[in-house]
Each structure stands twice: as C-alpha cells, then as structure tokens.
Amino acid sequence: MLTHRECVHIFRAIGLSAGDHILVHASLRKVGSIDGGADALLDALLQTVGADGTVAAPTFSGIPMDDGVFDPATTTSHTGVLTEVLRQRPDSVRSLHPTHSVTAIGPRAGEFMDGHLEADAVGIDSPCHRIAGAGGYVMLLGVTHTANSTIHVGEDCSGMLKAGRLKDPLSFRVRLPDGTVVGKVQDSSNSCSAGFNVLEFPLREKGQLRSFRMGSALSSVMKGQNLIDRTVDLIHAYPDITRCKQSGCIHCDAWREHLARE
C-alpha cells in the first residue's frame, strides 16, 4: 500500500517540483491501494507543486441528464474518483464547459479555467491548452494516451477539430455562478481518442516522455507543449494518424470525409 510520503517521493523523483502545473489523468483502480485513498494522492500532488503550483484534472460530465443543465457546483465528474475528490475541494475552481469541464487548485487556477464556456471543449484556449502553454505537465497515472485530452489540443492547432464539425450539434445549458442559465452549442466533433497511443513512440524517440511506476500501474509524465507540438507534426505528415479505425465512428469519419474533399 502506497503512503502519502511515498507518493510525494515518486513525484519528486520523476522531476516534478514546487511551482509546476500538472494536468492529471488517473485510474486509481490501476494504481492500487493508497493509504488515505484519492485524498492522499491529491494531497501528495499538491505538496509536490507547492503553494505556487497547480493541480488540475478533467472533470468531464458527459451530456447533462437531470434537468439538462450543467451546474459546475453540483454536476458530478465522470472521469474517476480522483477528479471527483478534486472537484469537491472547497478551494478548487471548475471551468464552465458543460461536457468537458476541467477543475484545478492553485493560485493560477482561475486564470487557467476562465473562458472555457467560450472556448472549444479540448481545443485552442481551453484549460488543457492554457496549462500546456504555461509550461505545464500532463501526467498519466495508470492510463494510456487514450485518456490524454491534450492531444485534442494538438488536433485543433493542426486545424482538425474545426474542419470535422458534426453536422447536427447538440445544445446544452450551463448554470453560471450567479444562477443565470445560458446556452452552449456542442463545439467539437473529434472526441474520439481510440487512436491516441500513436503518440507514444514519437514522444519517447525525442526523450519527451518519462515512464515511472505508481503502485501497480505503469505511468508517464510529459510536457504538455511537447505533446501538442508532436501531435501537430504528425498530423501535418499523416493527416489521419490520430483517428481510429473503428467502423462507423462519426467523429473520425467526419475528419476523413473532410480530407476526401480536400
């Protein structure tokens, strides 16, 4: 069983330190037992980055089901136990995107989360993009790149997301902190990530990905901007490289239809 102290030691051993910004994707089931559970892991991350750093995680909620309204204060996260623990911390800040919100703790959390209602879900100027642009890291604890949302930012920087929009986007409602409810049209068609493990080798080849073991789980950490840059390079060379090969995937088919028209 991992202890809080052991978690901090692992994070520091892979090069993380005070002032760092980290976007975490995690499967605690893969990591295994931690004394204190998700709270202890989150506290270890916060201790590692210190008072000037940021710990963030995707708190995606899918399509709002109850009254059809996304409420950042009450809508639960569907992306794992750690993200829900982070969301419920009193000092956390959650972005206002109805399906792909991100939540963060740290002095720059508001800066990173602000404006997500106007930005694309996982595209340019989203929290994932802002954290990467600030020199932040992406950490995969017990998950692969299929959970790595920052790759979508690279897709958007390459022009993929806007070119492959869905023909019939959904409409959502968002409750603002003052209680006002506003509308938001579905803004990204490329939510499929089944092909994202293609980034593993290009990152390793350039020494831009560090592997480590967290409990029972093989994990990795990388700079977000390096990840975005490698994604853009790959898509420019091989335009459908990140797209899955699953028959009938509307997201990837929309991109390939666009390529066929070019």
From CA 175, how far away is CA 41, in angstroms rounded? 30
pLDDT of residue 257: 79
Residue 42 sits at φ, ψ, to 5 deg, of -65, -45
pTM of the full structure: 0.94
pLDDT along the chain (262 residues), means of 10: 96 98 97 96 98 98 76 94 97 95 98 95 95 98 97 91 69 91 78 91 97 96 98 94 86 80 75
Are 75 and 31 contacting, i.e. CB atoms less than 8 angstroms apart? no
Q: Render pLDDT for 107-161 as a digit per residue (tens, 0 to 9).
A: 999 999 999 999 989 999 999 999 999 999 999 999 999 999 999 999 999 988 7
SS3 category, 254: helix
pLDDT of residue 154: 95
Its domain, for residue 196, covers: 4-261
- What is the DSSP code (8-state) at residue 94? E
What is the total count of domains within the chain?
Answer: 1
CA distance readout (Å), 166 to 36, 124, 170, 231, 235 = 43, 18, 9, 22, 20
Single-letter amino acid, residue 120? D
* Helix axis angle, 4-13 to 37-49, nearest 10°: 40
From CA 178, how far away is CA 13, in angstroms rounded? 43
pLDDT of residue 64: 66
Two tokens at 21? 């910004």
pLDDT of residue 163: 66
pLDDT of residue 191: 65
Considering only CA atoms, which of 144, 23, 180, 177 is closest in space to residue 86?
23
Considering only CA atoms, which of 33, 1, 31 is closest in space to residue 214?
31
